[in-house]
Amino acid sequence: MKTNFTEQTGIAYPIIMAPMFLVSNEAMMQSAIRTGIMGVFPTLNYRKEGELDALIKRLHQFKSENQGSFGVNLIVQKTNPLYNRHLKICVENKVPFYITSLGSPREVIEAAHSYSAKVYCDVTNIGHAEKCAKLGCDGFIAVGQGAGGHAGPYAQTVLIPTLRKHFPSIPVIAAGGIATGDGIAAMIALGATGVSIGTRYIASTEAEVSDEYKNSILNSGMDNIVMTERLSGTPCNIINTPYAKKNWL
């Protein structure tokens, strides 16, 4: 299945296994690479000395034998104390794909483009997309309503066509509430070049989270999801569990 995203990255299917703090792991990345999609993990999941460097080297080896690829998610904010160190390790190891979240992606774009890696920026509105476009990003991750974790304010039916209209030459990946082939087809029909899927993969065999967590992903529907700003200060979609009710709702 060819789109400009698969052509830019050399992968078989226009799907990103989305970066998830404390969830994304090496087995999930290997599975993504083996299947022909793009596995992306937050560098913050690898905080011990030498861990990130060694993992990237192993993933490069795995990528060379398979049809998918991998990338990293960098929180490009001064509040991330490991940002500079992690960016250096990623650039030294020539990570092929980046997703930036929060602050300015300027340094990541400059560093990644020095060796032809691609940088996609998380955006939830036109203002931030404008800044990323000016800095020369290769694509947008359009984080819309319904995304697991931090979500955007706009429905994909509005956000994707608006981004396409304002920035016709920049590919848009849809993120938020996508878990099926129907969902992927709908996003492509709206003008997306691919999709980024997070929550669904939490229930995968490879994810090293508790069975309770996996079962609650499988057994929850839209009426079990609630949005709160009390977790991190920005709107965040979570499962409405007794723990969530007590602490954040």
The amino acid occupying position 196 is S
| Exposed/middle/buried for residue 5 (C-beta within 10 Å: 0-12, 13-18, 19+) | buried
Q: How far apart are CA 198 and CA 3, in angstroms?
A: 20
Q: How far is CA 218 from CA 29, 149, 187, 207, 246, in A?
A: 21, 16, 22, 14, 22
Closer residue to ligand FMN in complex, CB, 6/101: 101
CA proximity to 9, closest of 107, 139, 110: 139
Smallest gap, in angstroms, from Cβ of residue 239 to ligand FMN?
10
CB of residue 45 to ligand FMN, shortest distance in Å: 8
In this complex, which beta carbon is closest to ligand FMN, that of residue 6 or of residue 43? Answer: 43
Residues making contact with ligand FMN (CB under 6 A)? 18-21, 23, 42, 73, 101, 122, 143, 146-149, 175-178, 196-199
* Residue number with CB closer to ligand FMN (126 or 203): 203
For the CB of residue 190, give the shortest distance to ligand FMN in the complex, in Å. 16
**Which residue has the closest beta carbon to ligand FMN?**
198
| Shortest reach from residue 139's CB to ligand FMN, in Å | 14
Q: Which is nearer to ligand FMN, 18 or 33 (CB)?
A: 18
- DSSP helix, strand, coil percent of the chain (3-state; round to 5): 40, 20, 40
